[in-house]
Amino acid sequence: MKKQIKLGWSLIVLITTSYGFAQEQGTIEFISNELSSVINKDAKVEKIVDGCQFTEGPLWIEKEKMLLFSDVPANTIYKWTEAKGKEVYLKPSGYTASESRGGFMGSNGLYLSKKGELLIAQHGDRRVARMDAPLNAPQTKYVTVAGEYDGKKLNSPNDLVISDKGDLYFTDPMYGFEGGMNDPKKQISFQGVYKMDKQGKVTLQDDAIPQPNGLAIFPDKKTMIVASTDGADKGWFLYDIDKDGNLKNKRVFYNVAQEKGMGGCDGLKIDKSGNVYATGPDGVWIFNKNAKLIGRIKFSRLSVANLAFSPDEKTMYITATNNVFRLKMK
C-alpha cells in the first residue's frame, strides 16, 4: 500500500512499515580515513522521532537540553527531549492566517540568535520572524524580521544564518506556495539569496540559483556556502564575503546533478574544522574544507532535509522525511 503526497521539490513516497520504509536507520560510508577524525567507525544512526509529515530545520538548544524541529506541512514546531520524546512546541509555526490552505505552509529553518531569540523561516507567512517569547515559555507571537524585498513580499524564506557582524542571510525559494511557481500570490519573479544588515535593509545577493536552500558560513568568516536544490547546478556554491558583508566571486563547491539518488540538496552545517555536512541525494554528504568528499550517511529510501549539531559537535541530529535521527559521532 502506497500513499503519494506532493512535498515541495520532490514526490515523496510514503510506504507503510510492512514495506520497511519506517525501519531504515541510515548507514555511514567512510570514503576517506579523514572521516574517522569526526565520526567513530562504530557509530550508529538511531531513530528518535517518527510519525511526522516532513521534518526540517533541526536546532539543538543546549540551555534547555532540547531539539527543536519543524514539521512543515503540519505547521508545527516540535521539541524533543531525552525524557519526554516528541512534544508540540509551537503551532501554528509558519502560517498564521485564518484562510485554510495546504502544502508546505509551516516553519522551515530555525536559528538561535546571540541574544537567545528564536528566529523562524516561515513559509506560509512568507517572512523571517522572531518568536516574541522566551524559549522555555513559547508562544505563537511572532515579529517580522524580514518580509519584503524592493517593496514586494518574499516567496517563502527557507533557511537563515547570522554573521558575527550581525548580518542576516537567508534563502527564498518557492516551496511555500501551494500553486508552485505559477501561484498568483508570487510577487518576485526569481528565487533569491538575501542579506539583511543591522539597520534592516534587505539586499539581493544572488538571483541565479533556481531554488536556493541551505546556507552556512565557514569558520574563516570570509566564505559562505549555499545549496542549490535541483537542476543542472544541483549541488553547492561558494561565495566570498566582502568587507561590507556582500557575497562575491561565486563558484562551484561540488556538483551532484548527475546523481540519481533520493532527495535534493537542502540544509547543511559546517563544523569548527571547516568540514561541510550537506544533505543531498541519498543522505548526508560530508566534505573537508577543500571540497574533498570524505564520507556519506546514506538513507536510500528517505529524503534527508537538514541536520544540526550539539555545541560540542559530538552529536548530529538529522531530519529525514517523517523522521528525526540521532548520530553520536564521538
| Closest alpha carbon to 68 in 79, 57, 53 | 79
H helices of the chain, in order, are none
| Closest alpha carbon to 108 in 97, 119, 117 | 119
Omega within 30 of 0 (cis) for the link into 311: no
Question: Binning pLDDT at 50, 70 and 90, where does residue 311 land?
Answer: very high
pLDDT tens per residue across span 82-109 = 999 999 999 999 999 999 999 999 999 9
| Closest alpha carbon to 242 in 286, 197, 201 | 197
d(CA 74, CA 56): 11
Question: Binning pLDDT at 50, 70 and 90, where does residue 19 land?
Answer: very low
| Closest alpha carbon to 89 in 79, 101, 103, 104 | 79
In this structure, are residues 156 and 129 in contact, taking their beta carbons and an 8 Å threshold?
Answer: no
| Closest alpha carbon to 244 in 289, 199, 181 | 199
Query: Does pLDDT of 17 surpass 60?
Result: no
pLDDT tens per residue across span 199-223 = 999 999 999 999 999 999 999 999 9
pLDDT tens per residue across span 55-80 = 999 999 999 999 999 999 999 999 99
H helices of 136-217, in order, are none
Q: What is the residue type of 143?
A: V
d(CA 160, CA 270): 14
Which of helix, strand or coil describes residue 131?
strand
Alpha-carbon torsion 31, 33, 37, 43, what sign? positive
| Closest alpha carbon to 285 in 234, 232, 241, 330 | 234
CB atoms within 10 A of CB 147: 15
d(CA 218, CA 224): 6
Distances (CA, A) of 199 to 55, 165, 168: 33, 12, 11
Q: Quick one: CA torsion of 109, 197, 233, 225, rounded to 10 degrees?
A: -70
| Whole-number average pLDDT of the chain | 93
Query: Does pLDDT of 20 surpass 80?
Result: no
**Domains, the chain:** 25-328 (2.120.10.30)
Within its chain, how far is the Cα of 42 from the centroid?
A: 27
d(CA 207, CA 180): 18
